[in-house]
Amino acid sequence: MQNAMEDDRFQQFNKVKLSNGASITKNLLENTSNEKKTHKSKQPTNQLKSGLLGWYAVCSIREISGDDPYFFTMFNEPLMIYKDKDSNLRCIKDLCPHRGASFRGGQIIDGELVCPYHGAKFSSTGKCTNLSRITCNHIVDSNYNNYATKIHLYQYLCKEVGDYIFINYTGSSSTNLEEIEVKENIDSKILNTYGFKTEEYKFEEVIVDFKCDWARIVENHLDILHLFWVHGETIPDADVNRNVITSFNQEITRDSNQIESKYKYKEKDKGEFIRIKFLPPGRIIIYKGNPEESRYIQVLDHIPLAKNQARVIVRHYRKFLKNNFFNSLILFKNLQHRIFYKVFAEDYMILRTQTFNDQMGYIEKDNVKLLGEDKMIQYYWDWYKNSLNEDKPWDIHPIKSDTNSVHQELAMLYPPENKILAEKNNREIVVKLIARLIIPIGLAFLLI
Ligand code: FES
Ligand SMILES: [Fe+2]
């Protein structure tokens, strides 16, 4: 029923588009004039609960090792994650509440964060524990409470789930975590909520940063058509290559948590090609068949670091090749990473030239035409535009021409354009191959 309604709405939208194609495309993506508002009422309503502010998987748990904090940015805002003395994860604004220094270059001593500028120390709850260090003792003595409440870390809610660290990014950090309003339960972002049994899988992961618009990368990962052309030579699947021209029956469903599209071959005997699930704001899940039975799941998390800077965490979960010894023998991890990096480099070739584009409305109205296969992308842009109008995440910590952008530059840890990651991986493959040859040859010599 839901599908029928969705299809109906889309048919309606298409009819309007056909009779007045250019203006409706523009109208769907821009929403400022009265005339546009009239058209907007004909659009599919945005049923998704989550907007651009909400739960994001911002890094893998492996990024937080030992006492090393993890620095990053979200919508331009410098942030940091570390483990406090009780091993609780804390996500804080990277700003010391004494005189505004960054904690880069600071220390974590016995689970307490120490500012590199004047040595203020902060407890797990964010309270300064050595006020006397940063102001005269007698002032502290007479006015302790006043200082203690002011000199306090600003925090975001932070949780570890499924080897990911999630933060509830609201754009407004708080000195009191209890006061933070959580609009949506984190369960709506978690794979097991949708029937995937992640405990039955092994996974490989890579992280790559892009210098391009966050929204464009998400769009790219919702786009199945480009797989055949851009990645046709790289994806190890005989059905995905440049010579395959295929079209699919799409079955799109939306509820308050997700948009999902199932792509089925038009030839009935060929069955299903793939399913794509979008869990806003930043998560995409790609798999085949029912979630409980899928042999393979791809999970992509998109993190809006800053304007035209975004991070993607890609995980490939598999139910096959689970033997660690065998995998290490065949260099499975390195070989899979090789494919990841190649796929990213191919995407980056396209995405890097689409950097300035908050919205498809930027493109002249007659320049683009979304086709039938772009239906999911249309729904995505529909959500994005609504969320952008409502949440305005880029207006919270705007970068002006004279803003020091050092945090944004430092946040780029895994840039794809300099090929360092791919080259490092290739070197590892060569070294491991040589090691695998030398050891048996050495043993053979010893035996002789
Ligand atoms: S700015 Fe951090 S202690 Fe002064
Ligand atoms: Fe791609």
For the segment 215-230, what is each residue's pLDDT rounded down to a tens digit?
A: 989 999 999 888 888 8
Predicted pLDDT at 431: 86
- The per-residue pLDDT for range 287-337, each reduced to its tens digit, is 999 999 999 999 999 999 998 899 999 999 999 888 888 888 888 888 888
Average pLDDT over residues 154-178: 94
Predicted pLDDT at 283: 98
- The per-residue pLDDT for range 37-92, each reduced to its tens digit, is 333 434 445 589 999 999 999 999 988 877 789 999 999 999 999 998 888 999 99
CA distance 387 to 15: 25
Which segments of the chain belong to CATH 2.102.10.10? 65-158+170-179
Q: Which uninterrupted H or E stretch holds 149?
A: helix 137-150
- The per-residue pLDDT for range 70-80, each reduced to its tens digit, is 999 999 999 99
SS3 79: strand
Rounded distance from Cα 120 to ligand 1 centre (Å): 6
96 CB near ligand 1 (under 6 Å): yes
Rounded distance from Cα 357 to ligand 1 centre (Å): 38
| Assigned fold of 65-158+170-179 | Rieske Iron-sulfur Protein (2.102.10)
Of the ligands numbered here, which is closest to the C-alpha atom of 347? Answer: 2
Average pLDDT over residues 248-269: 90
Average pLDDT over residues 102-112: 92
For a substitution probing ligand 1, which of 115, 127, 133 has the most ligand atoms within 8 Å of its CB?
115
Rounded distance from Cα 110 to ligand 1 centre (Å): 19
C-alpha 387, offset from chain centre: 16
Of the ligands numbered here, which is closest to the C-alpha atom of 113? Answer: 1
Looking at ligand 1, which atom is closest to the CA of residue 96?
A: 2
Token pair 């509820």 in the structure block, residue: 255
For a substitution probing ligand 1, which of 94, 96, 109, 113 has the most ligand atoms within 8 Å of its CB?
96
- The per-residue pLDDT for range 347-392, each reduced to its tens digit, is 998 888 775 555 444 455 456 677 777 888 889 988 988 898 999 9
Token pair 């919508």 in the structure block, residue: 75
Of the ligands numbered here, which is closest to the C-alpha atom of 225? Answer: 2
43's CB contacts (< 8 A; 6+ apart) are 9, 13, 28, 382
286 CB near ligand 1 (under 6 Å): no
**Pairing relationship of beta strands 155-161 and 164-169 according to DSSP bridges:** antiparallel
Rounded distance from Cα 97 to ligand 1 centre (Å): 7
CA distance 257 to 278: 9
397 CB near ligand 1 (under 6 Å): no
Which segments of the chain belong to CATH 3.90.380.10? 186-417
Alpha-carbon distances, residue 151 vs 86, 99, 101, 134, 139 (angstroms): 21, 10, 13, 10, 14
Rounded distance from Cα 227 to ligand 2 centre (Å): 6
pLDDT of 246 > 50? The answer is: yes
pLDDT of 242 > 90? The answer is: no
Predicted pLDDT at 138: 66
Side by side, the strands of the sheet bearing 164-169 are 54-60, 164-169, 155-161, 89-93, 77-83, 70-74
Predicted pLDDT at 355: 53
Rounded distance from Cα 136 to ligand 1 centre (Å): 14
Share of the chain above pLDDT 90, in %: 42
Which of 160, 170, 159 is closest to 50 using CA atoms?
Answer: 170
pLDDT of 163 > 80? The answer is: yes
Alpha-carbon distances, residue 93 vs 172, 216, 403 (angstroms): 9, 27, 17
Of the ranges 386-395, 418-427, 433-442, which is most confident? 386-395
CATH class entry, domain 186-417: alpha beta
